[in-house]
Structures are given as C-alpha cells and as structure tokens.
Amino acid sequence: MKFEYKKIISTILLLAVTFTLGYGFAIYRYGFSTLPITRFTIGTIKNNYIEGIEDEKIAKGIVQSLGDPFSIYLTEDEYKSFQTNISNNYVGVGIIITKINEKVKIVRVLNNSPAERAGITQGSEITKVNGILTNGKDLESVSSLIRGPENSEVTLTIVNDTIERDFTLKREKIEIETVNGEIIAPGIAYIRILSFNMGTDREFNKILNSLLKESPKGLILDLRDNGGGILEVTANIAKRFLQDGMTLFYIKEKDKEPQPQYINECDPINIPTMVIVNKGSASASEVLAGAIKDNKAGRIIGEETFGKATIQRIFNVPFSGGAIKLTIQKYLTPDKHDLSSKGLKPDIFFSDLSSNIDPKNDNVIKKAISLLTEN
C-alpha cells in the first residue's frame, strides 16, 4: 500500500514538473509572458460588458488593434471567402475590389458577368452591400457579403461621379481568366496578368509559350490593377524573366537582418520586356515588377505602384473554422528598396493609364510598343 502511495505521489510530481517545464517553454516559444493581462482583459469584458460580446468580435478587435490593414481575423465564412478569392472560380457578381484611401473600389469588372450586364464600371466605389456600410470593413468582410449561393440576389450601393445608385444583381458561377495575351504588333507580344491566383503560373506559361512560337522581338507585360495574390505563383512566373541565382526579393523578419531570396530553375525568355504598372499594382505585382527592374531584365513604364511591401501568413484558429491573416514579414526589392507606402517608381513615367477594351488602341501600350521597336 505504501509502495502504491509513493508511486502515485511520484507520478503527480512528474506530471507537475512536466507541466511546469511545458508551460515555461510555451512562454519562451510563443511570448506568452503578457498572457495574464490579455486573459484578465478578455475575462473582464466577457463577464461585465453590458451588451455581451462574442469571442470572435474580441479576436477581431485584438488583431485590428495592431493598426495593420493587412492583418485581420477571419470568421469561418470570411475565411471561406478568402480561399475563394485566390481560386479561379466562385459564385458572385463578377467584380474585383480593392481598398484605396479607406474606400472599397472596383478595380475590374469581369466580362459577361452580372456586374458588367448591369452597367457597373471599373473605378466605382461600393458604399453598401445589402444596406450594410462598407466603411470600416476589411476587404474579406466585404467580399463575403457580396458572395453567396448561386441564383441568390445581392444589392450593391455604387457611387460613380458623386451619383449614388443601387444595383440588385443575381449571383452566378464566375470563372476568372487571370491571364490573356496576343501578338499586338509586328514582332511584339502582349500579356496581361490580372491577379496571381492558383493556376495563374500554368496559364501564363501556356500563353507565353504559344506566343514565343511567333518569335517576337519584344514582350509587353501588363500588371495594371493587379492587386497581387499567391507569392509562390509569382515566383514561378518570375522564372521566365530572371536568370538562375538572381535575387527575387529580400525578406525582413522580426528582429532580423534582411535575407536575400534567390531564384533558380529559371527558363528566361531573353527578349526585351516592358512592364506596365499603375497605382493599382500591388503586393505580388510589385514583387515581380521590382525583380524585373532591379535585375535589369526589363523596364517599367507607368506610375508609382500601390506600395504594399508586407507578406502575410494564415494561422488557422482551432475549433472555430476561422483564421488569422497576420503580417509576419516585409520584403525589399533586390536593390533593397522598401516599397512600404511609397510604391515602385517606374523607369519611364506615363500618366495616361486608362485601360482600353482594345489593347491596340491603349495609349500606354502604344508607347511601350514604340520603345521596344526603337530598341
């Protein structure tokens, strides 16, 4: 009996030591030294706030308190919407949105979509979705409001040239074509990438290889209003412009010096290239354009880009189905330019960047063709 008693005591002590060591490691590994303050604050709110509050609202508030517009807490529905955003098909009304000066703007209206058929135009502002104000909401939240079941309806309040109007649209299956291209002038190939979604690199290579069969003497790569997307996809596309061993960008992590990210297994086209950008070119677009510019693989024409130089990682939240999209890194161009809030400066400034339905009548494309032809 005494032996059993001692065995039980020994087991309890062992568990206590294990727990203490494990808890100590967690504090060291995850920086939980301030956890009691956070736990007390959350507990006080949960137990005493007059209205009551859901856990996810508190979580959203914590992430929002960082003051970083790209770090957000996603509910289960918002996370599903986010995952849909980076795929090539979804159910919606056929618009791509971004946030400019805290306003939700339409940067692209997809061909043959409910939005196009209703007469909604690029550049318009969305102020409400089903009567809910978009002001103060992040893009994923607005996207999740716009998306919904096939054949259901959504009402968008649109402001264009100070005129406000409601559009009630029926949602339908939308397939996003992220890449298109053609021979635009004798000896000049043209490719436009609209976003870096899953499969965009394969689509890009298929179109590029087809155009290369025509033996073009120059290429125009159009990244206007491309808000970015998947970094790995962008790196795969960069392999068609850069040489093995070149720097794609520098990574700056918390409390560490910037580290170069080299690119290998390249298959460069080795023809003169002009890249068109505008203020809607952001994130992964800036990575690609910056790598081409700094590695002298091509020239940039247009205006200063958006200036999003941060990289986010998704952390799944246990038991909720939601996720935290958190900024964990900053990137610098190969020449170590920090694009935060500044954007990438083009080699050739060009202000007439309004996109024409017919690329052959687009003024900036005409300029790019003339520059390539001169060379």
The predicted-structure confidence for 34-58, as pLDDT tens digits, reads as follows: 568 888 988 898 889 998 888 899 9
Q: When comparing pLDDT for 158 and 27, which is higher?
A: 158
Catalytic: which of 105, 308, 325, 330? 308
C-alpha distances out from residue 31 to 19, 35, 60, 99, 237, Å:
17, 8, 20, 32, 37
Q: Is the pLDDT of residue 5 over 60?
A: no
Q: Is the pLDDT of residue 343 over 90?
A: yes
Helices (H) and strands (E) in the chain, counts: 10, 19
Residues 280, 306: Cα–Cα separation, whole Å: 6
Identify the bridge partners of residue 274 per DSSP, sorted by sequence position: 220, 299
Which CATH fold topology does 179-314+328-374 show? Answer: 2-enoyl-CoA Hydratase; Chain A, domain 1 (3.90.226)
Q: Boundaries of CATH 2.30.42.10 in the chain?
A: 89-175
pTM for the predicted model, two decimal places: 0.75
pLDDT band for position 349 (50/70/90)?
Answer: very high
Instruction: Name the token pair of 171.
Output: 């949602």
Token pair 């960008």 is found at: 249
pLDDT tens-digit map of 192-246: 998 999 899 999 999 999 999 999 999 999 999 898 989 999 999 999 999 999 9
pLDDT tens-digit map of 49-97: 998 888 899 999 999 999 998 899 999 988 887 887 677 677 899 998 8
pLDDT band for position 138 (50/70/90)?
Answer: confident
Catalytic: which of 294, 325, 330, 362? 294
pLDDT band for position 116 (50/70/90)?
Answer: very high
Interstrand relation of 273-277 and 218-222 (parallel, antiparallel or unpaired): parallel
294 assigned to active site: yes
Q: For domain 89-175, which CATH number applies: 3.50.50.60, 2.30.42.10, 1.10.3720.10, 3.90.1300.10?
A: 2.30.42.10
283 assigned to active site: yes
Instruction: Name the token pair of 22.
Output: 């494990």
Residues 75, 319: Cα–Cα separation, whole Å: 11
Helix (H, G, I), strand (E, B) or coil at 13: helix
Contact 226, 281 (CB under 8 A): yes
Helix (H, G, I), strand (E, B) or coil at 148: coil
Catalytic: which of 81, 141, 144, 283? 283
pLDDT band for position 291 (50/70/90)?
Answer: very high
C-alpha distances out from residue 345 to 21, 180, 284, Å:
52, 25, 15
Residues 272, 134: Cα–Cα separation, whole Å: 43
* Phi-psi region at 330: left, alpha or beta (left = phi > 0; alpha = psi -120 to 50): beta
Residue 99: predicted pLDDT: 79
